[in-house]
Chain A
Amino acid sequence: MEKMSRVTTALGSNSITGRTMFCHLDAPANAISVCRDATQVVVAGRNIFKIYALEEEQFVEKLNLRVGRKPSLNFSCADVMWHQMEENLLATAATNGAVVTWNLGKPSRNKQDQLFTEHKRTVNKVCFHPTEVYMLLSGSQDGFMKCFDLRKKESVSTFSGQSESVRDVQFSMKDYFTFAASFENGNVQLWDIRRPDRYERMFTAHTGPVFCCDWHPDDRGWLATGGRDKMVKVWDMTTNRAKEIYCVQTIASVARVKWRPERKFHLATCSMMVDHNIYVWDIRRPFIPFATFEEHKDVTTGIVWRHQHDPHYLLSGSKDSTLYQHMFKDATRPVDKANPEGLCFGLMGDLAFAVNESLISSDASRKPYPGGDRRYPFFSFKKANPTEQFAHVSSTLSVFETDLDSNCMDWFVKTAQLYLLSGKPFTELCDHNAKVAQELKRPQVSTTWTMLRIMFSEPAPGPNQNLSKLGSLPLMNSFSMKDLGSVMGPEGRLERHKGESRQDNIHLEPGNSHISNNNEENEETEGSDGPTEYMFGDAELDDDDLYPMEHENQAVPEEQVYTLPPEAFQLRHEIIDNPSAPEHLQQDKADSPHVSGNEAEVTCLTPIETVSLISISQPLYSPHLHGSFFCPIVREMLSHYAEQGDVQMAVSVLIVLGERIRKEIDDLTQEHWYMSYIDLLQRFELWNVSNEVIKLSTCSAITCLNQTSTTLHINCSNCKRPMSNKGWICDRCRQCASACAVCHHVVKGLFVWCQGCSHGGHLEHIMNWLKNNSHCPAGCGHMCEYT
């Protein structure tokens, strides 16, 4: 231990100076290592093996160890290590499987000292014991680790990793006898150097190869590992089972990991592929690197801290044939550039938004949003830790709430539960759903259902009959001026919730049966009807506000409107601007249907539709029209609903109409609607409805949702081993596995079991048993509960 103390004091007597600098090498480097006093660095690669002196301003080549006319493969190094006790001693791992030691004190040009050719495959790593001069460890692709005593000609012990390639070996800094080895299959093993027969412990650290590991220089229990799965993990090895205490997700496979001296939570990593940067992480802040060095142009292959006790100098070698010294003060700090903010939508339409406080305050002139902008204090303010050196960002969280009555999604839940989607004739389904919508005060939706029924039901004998039927429907509503006035008031609110379909409830209030009285008459009488007409005017305003885009489309029908009998609109001039669907349609139906006609019908779905429906009911029943005639309209109607946010309506109609409409809408759109609706249903925990929708859908992508993860793995109740075959008999212990705890017969069918004691049986038996008893029927003493 005397030597140890010498090392630790070395820094004090000879403090390091320098700057960020680099030098060109002749060939790509595979590994680098520094000598104990931090004055020299050795670079090794396939075609390079040199020692450079680290001077104040530059690297100076001191020695080329690659001698001979035709250097052998023994010089082709995969790894190199400079002994930390003996400054003349180096070891390299060669790609051909040789382990070579070099003695710089030799007088001859060739400094090669010992050559061990015991490994059959490439040696990936060599490691000197931190305090023992003659002890060297190697790990190879052939799956063996060997420990060499440099005074002897061959290895003193061999450790077998069970034929899996060894990627890294590291002696523990504090436990004299312990070393860690990482493997290509993702395992990490701990060995006692005195016991070559068996590892002390093993755990799976990564999926795929573990390329590197590093013991914490101060904390004896901590081991950092890096793998191809792009993770760096820190393990606490002091407990019985290796416990993962920190995990950093990087963006590429991790080739090397090195703890930063004197900084308990910092480590440096570099990647094997694609990413050329070196990152220094604070493992407590795993989402963003603490510092980055971006100098290299190709992957970094070796990193080492210049001195064991100086955190400010990092050396790195790279495939781009350069050797760098990085000063920590010159590093890029990604945190400074990061702009932490977050945005999330709530189920009820709320919007939460967190952003750096400084950004918010700079925008002081901003007016608070009407109704909803609420700022929340940051809940868990992390106490600033001076050792952490991380920029602290305090954020404000703003929540924009939709106001209470529009916030309520009850209608969605109720509708989902009450709608009938299958199991009855088409017309009944429509009627039922119309009634549901009506009861929930959504007349527009209700009307849509009724229209669908009319459009797609089988042609009826005569128009008169239909009309009378129509008259009996509950959809014949009208507006009273008073109602309208009151609901039209909060204009801003309407505007704000434009994307949602809730305004339906507002516009069409059932009650005043002004128009239903008139519904048997034709539209001309309607026109002369004062109140109705006034309503038109109001509705127009509303219409313009809500559908500014459709306004343009209406230009075409407008032309036709001019040809209509003027007396229908004599009282108010503006009425002409509003395409009055009834007249237009009537004309249209007489002509061949064209695009403008369809568009006009879509606008019928706006609040004035009640009127329009009544009016067009007659032309609809011209006997020539087949259901498929309406398909384009219905298609647009569905898109309209979906775009308004009422995907529920779109999907429900899709299911109810089934084959009648399916071919009209492309599969991707259908799938998208289904997915959105199912997602919504599941967020509202309407599992049954969502399942029904999945079952009724015809999109293959949707129906297969129910076919995923349908396997339930069970263990045999006797031998506790997994049941591999189907059936009731465990093929290991030849016993019936699932016996009912009450009747002791095999359960074939519904099996219910207690998750506490895992006893169970026939559903019925267990239910009955637990009605009268509270303990497990098997007599195990567990208090089972049936809910």
Chain B
Amino acid sequence: MASSSAPGFAFQANGSENPSQAPDTGGSSRYRSDSESEIYPTAKSLSRLCSRDRDERAAALEELSQKVLVCLGLDRPGSARLSKQTLLHLLRLSRSCPLQEVRMRASELLCTAQEEGIEVPRALASGPSAFIPAKEMFTEGPNQDMLIESFLSLGRVDHLAMVMALHPSYLSCFLRTQHALFELDGPLPRDWRHYISIMAAARHHCSYMVQQHSMAFLEAGGEESWLSGLEHAPTKLRGLQTLNKLLAHRPWLITQQHIQELVCAGAEPRWSLAELIHAVILMAHTHSLCSFVWGCGLNPEPDHIGGHTFCPPSPSHIPHSPAHEDGRQELADGAVEVEVLMKRMVELQQQEEECTQEEMVTRFERERSESIPTAVVRGAPPELVLNLVEEPEFRYEDFAPRGEQSPPIMRAQDYSWEDHGFSLVQRLLPDMGQFLDEEFQVVSNLTYHRMAMHEGVDTYTLRKALWNYIHCLYGIRYDDYDYGSVNVLLERSLKVFVKTVACHPEQTTAHIYHDFWRHFRHSEKVHANLIVMEARLQAALLYTLRAITYYMR
């Protein structure tokens, strides 16, 4: 399938093209140490670029260009070469900095460098996402403010934030959670937090997340060797493997024994409950974020392996993600489909029809066990990721395949986030419960009262159906929900997409992304992705928190 240029593939293809330049994970950090020895202190200049003071920023920009020009030898011959790291930083700034002056200056510098005969990297991707055309992204207005804020506080705006900026209210609370998880005080050291996220992302073969966290991990002072394989990490971290595996693919199998193995007095090295809950949230957060990354087809960052190339563009090759166009054909019957969906939603809300309890149970079972073909099994994941996974063959399996004895389903009324999960998290990791609660609430209330070309629509039933369908895939049942409406509201192509993204995110293709909701806006599809991500997060958390509650009993 030509259109399947998802991040992982791009990386593979590119990795084989330039083996000398991007041989392994150690690469990025080696360049870092290169740059330190040179006269151009990257990290420092960049942090000044993020100053909130406009003049300070201008001065930093000026200084940066001076240094680059010096390096280029415009002033004196034979000066030091520009490091690769610097070039990549410039490239990244020129592509993703929300401050226009910085963006312009960085591009100019790169141009100058190229004129001087230096090999200049070029971003392979034309926008943050392979599925969504770049022109959908750069909207002015309040979203931009959020991105600038993000740039100033984090030092970069990654593709993730750019796509999420389509829903600013979510982005702001997402960034808060992210900040609290990785930066604020907590029981785990900072480098560990990132390493746990790397472990989690590796389970879904998400090289995007792995690289993002690898950089952060090294910045937090993490040991480089850990990145080359799990066996170099401390035993305590490796102890998380089982939990990580289950949490990623089959959270319903997590029992209090798993918790006990890590926490109880005999376990060595032992996890404290607060550390464990922090790790669990980190893992669940990263797993669901992988769903989002794959589901939105995020391109590698320009400074990622596979995100850039030093080869000049070949005339035949116009750098665009092949996926953009094929999904966008306007179908004549498009409008009709949307209207049918809307009619169904209205009907469902008015419906007074009664059905028997047996019928309700059957409906739930039907949704749960409906066989949704997920995409073809991919080739082996990139090596970078594979080293960090144990038992890579352990994958999602249907909660209860037909004909087998099913594990007991979880009743939402017996263990809910609002009543139980929140209190437990809040108790063990103060404030984190609040952040997660906020995230869930923002997502469940997020609506723009519109659907495709229609305005003023109450989309509650549709959002609810989506949320409950995902929980259903994870074996969580709401007594008070009629799963018949899932069948009515979610077309098959949407179910395929949702199930793939939630359960086998690494198998998401551009095809299935474009196949559902064909006349909806991209922002609406991103909204669907957000719901999938949060529902998945909550489901995984509920199972683990329940196990912890049982353990504490």
Contact = CB atoms under 8 A, between A and B. Distances in A.
Interface of A: 46, 70, 72-74, 76, 78, 94-97, 117, 119-122, 141, 184, 208-209, 211, 228, 252-253, 272-274, 276, 297-298
Of all A-B residue pairs in the complex, the 3 with the closest CB atoms, nearest first, are: A72-B357, A95-B479, A273-B423
A274 B427 contact: yes
Contact of A272 (B354, B357, B423, B553): B423
B97 to A, nearest CB: 24
B18 interface: no
A46 B411 contact: yes
Interface in B373-403: none
Given A73-B360, A76-B479, A228-B423, A298 B411 contact: no
A96 B360 contact: yes
Interface of B: 354, 356-358, 360, 411, 413-414, 418-420, 422-424, 427, 479-480, 549, 552-553
B427 A273 contact: yes
A163 to B, nearest CB: 9
B53 to A, nearest CB: 13
12 contacts: A72-B356, A73-B357, A78-B413, A96-B360, A97-B480, A120-B480, A122-B479, A252-B427, A273-B423, A273-B549, A274-B424, A297-B553
Contact of A298 (B357, B413, B427, B553): B553
B149 to A, nearest CB: 16
B480 A228 contact: no
Nearest to A297: B553
A97 B413 CA distance: 11
Contacts, number: 63
Contacts of B420: 272-273
A96 B479 contact: yes
A731 B356 CA distance: 57
B480 A96 contact: yes
Given A121-B480, A228-B419, A252-B427, 4 more contacts: A73-B357, A73-B479, A96-B480, A209-B419
Given A121-B480, A272-B420, A273-B427, A95 B411 contact: yes
A122 B413 contact: yes
Contacts of A208: 422
Contacts of B479: 73, 76, 94-97, 122
A-side interface mostly:
loop
A298 to B, nearest CB: 6
Given A46-B411, A122-B413, A298-B553, A141 B480 contact: yes
Nearest to B411: A46
A76 B418 CA distance: 20
Contacts of B552: 274
Contacts of A252: 423, 427
Contacts of B354: 117
Contact of A74 (B357, B418, B424, B549): B357
B480 A46 contact: no
Nearest to B424: A273
A298 B479 CA distance: 23
Given A95-B479, A120-B480, A253 B358 contact: no
A629 B130 CA distance: 60
A704 to B, nearest CB: 13
Contacts of B423: 228, 252-253, 272-274
A632 to B, nearest CB: 26
Nearest to A120: B480
A46 B357 contact: no
A122 B478 CA distance: 9
Given A96-B479, A274-B552, A209 B360 contact: no
A731 to B, nearest CB: 16
B334 to A, nearest CB: 31
B479 to A, nearest CB: 4
Among B357, B418, B423, find the residue whose CB has the most chain A CB atoms closer than 10 A: B423
B198 to A, nearest CB: 27
A334 to B, nearest CB: 20
A117 B353 CA distance: 11
Given A228-B423, A273-B427, A95 B413 contact: yes
Contacts of B356: 72
B411 A209 contact: no
A46 B414 contact: yes
Contacts of A95: 411, 413, 479-480
Given A95-B480, A120-B480, A184 B358 contact: no
Contacts of B414: 46
A97 B354 CA distance: 12
Nearest to A141: B480
Contacts of B358: 70, 72
A46 to B, nearest CB: 7
Contacts of B411: 46, 95
Contacts of A73: 357, 360, 479
Among A78, A97, A252, A273, find the residue whose CB has the most chain B CB atoms closer than 10 A: A273
A608 B496 CA distance: 85
